[in-house]
Amino acid sequence: MRRFVTGIAVAALLLSTAACGSSGGETESDGIDKVKVGVIPIIDVAPIYLGQQKGFFSNRKIEVSMEAGQGGAAIVPGVVSGQFQFGFSNMTSLLIAQTKNVPIKTVAAGVASTGEQGKDFGGVVVKADSPIKTAADLAGKKVAVNTLKNIGDTTVRESVRKAGGDPKGIQFVEMPFPNMPAGLQEGQVDAAWAVEPQLTQIKAAGGRLVASNFVDAAPGLTVAAYFTSTKLAGENADLVKRFTEAINESLAYADSHPDEVRAIIGSYTKIDEKTRADVTLPKWPTEINQASVETLAKLGTGDGIFDGATPDVAKLMP
């Protein structure tokens, strides 16, 4: 009842005082920090699950637990309010947040493109009999992305530009990744920017890859990163440092043990074994490729996704 009253009172009055939750995570008497990480249940976050299993976090007196929300709409607010100590988000969203002065900063790399044309974990696909042969042919077509004005459409535009096409005429439409195989098949869209495991699924159904947009956007593109609130970074630098070390160890381990990655994905997703064996895994370098983030910022500025502002990449970096 009390919670209800609080909740409704806040909802009704839209009070502003609500956002003063705890931010440090709980520290047990034996010095172990309990840390919640907001993630999306996709392949990209396999290293943190692997690191948890391997004890890379408990070694550093961190008891990590993952909170897997869909789409991540809840992750940034959760981190800002201190409900989560860390979160996982794609780089463009973090840049957008930076232009709006959201008090967050990155603490470690999340996931990166493989950098190999045709062999990346995300790409633009079309139906087998589509007249679209190269990225340049996408001009004037209807292309599905999971979120408008984000990393998908800016990088796809770059692919089209590099292939000599005109990205202006592309009509981007929003479609959740899991719907893309059907959307393509039924002709609801001409092309789709898909990531694993849907990419494998589409290719298995005869789909054809026409562009590796992450590869076209920048060499060694950092696609996503782990971040925390500036508040926690200021108040508990030691915890952040230990978390970063643990994540880095996890990333390095995941990068060199693909079989274990494929196995652990089964523990937090429902991707079947065959697909897990077939998907193209991303790269998990331990450093955020700052040059690639600068490029993303430049592309985003050109496409007008920052509402006229220019992101300050340095402020976002650890």
**Binders in 251-310 for other proteins, by CB under 8 A:** 268-272, 275, 305, 307
d(CA 266, CA 255): 17
Structure tokens given for 125: 């696909």
Q: Per-residue x/- mask for other proteins, residues 53 to 82, rule CB under 8 A?
A: --------------xxxxx-xx-xxx-xx-
| Rounded least distance, CB 2 to other proteins, Å | 10
Using the rule CB under 8 A, is 140 a contact of other proteins?
no
How many residues form the binding site for other proteins (CB under 8 A)? Answer: 75
| Rounded least distance, CB 134 to other proteins, Å | 25
- The contacts of residue 53 (CB under 8 Å, 6+ apart) are 264
Using the rule CB under 8 A, is 173 a contact of other proteins?
yes
Using the rule CB under 8 A, is 34 a contact of other proteins?
no
DSSP strand E in 117-221: where?
A: 122-126, 142-145, 171-174, 191-195, 208-211
Using the rule CB under 8 A, is 167 a contact of other proteins?
no
Of 23, 90, 93, 295, the residue at the interface with other proteins (CB under 8 A) is 93
Residue whose token pair is 């998990």: 284
Residues 210-249 touching other proteins, rule: CB under 8 A, are none
Of 24, 32, 63, 174, the residue at the interface with other proteins (CB under 8 A) is 174
Cβ nearer to other proteins, comparing 148 with 317: 148
Q: Which residues pair with 87 in a beta bridge?
A: 38, 227
Of 83, 130, 286, 301, the residue at the interface with other proteins (CB under 8 A) is 83
Q: Which residues pair with 41 in a beta bridge?
A: none
Give 255: exposed, middle or buried? Use CB within 10 Å, 0-12, 13-18, 19+. Answer: middle
| Rounded least distance, CB 82 to other proteins, Å | 9
Are 92 and 296 in contact by the 8 Å Cβ rule? The answer is yes
Give 30: exposed, middle or buried? Use CB within 10 Å, 0-12, 13-18, 19+. Answer: exposed
Of 123, 167, 197, 311, the residue at the interface with other proteins (CB under 8 A) is 197
Using the rule CB under 8 A, is 8 a contact of other proteins?
yes
Binding segment toward other proteins, per CB under 8 A, in 49-57, 144-152, 210-218, 256-264: 144-152
Of 117, 134, 182, 274, the residue at the interface with other proteins (CB under 8 A) is 182
Using the rule CB under 8 A, is 169 a contact of other proteins?
no
Residue whose token pair is 């780089």: 91
- The contacts of residue 124 (CB under 8 Å, 6+ apart) are 135, 138, 143, 156, 159, 191, 192, 193, 194, 209, 210, 211, 212, 213
Is it true that the peptide bond before 282 is cis, omega within 30 degrees of 0? no
| Rounded least distance, CB 116 to other proteins, Å | 24
Using the rule CB under 8 A, is 87 a contact of other proteins?
no
Of 23, 35, 42, 91, the residue at the interface with other proteins (CB under 8 A) is 42
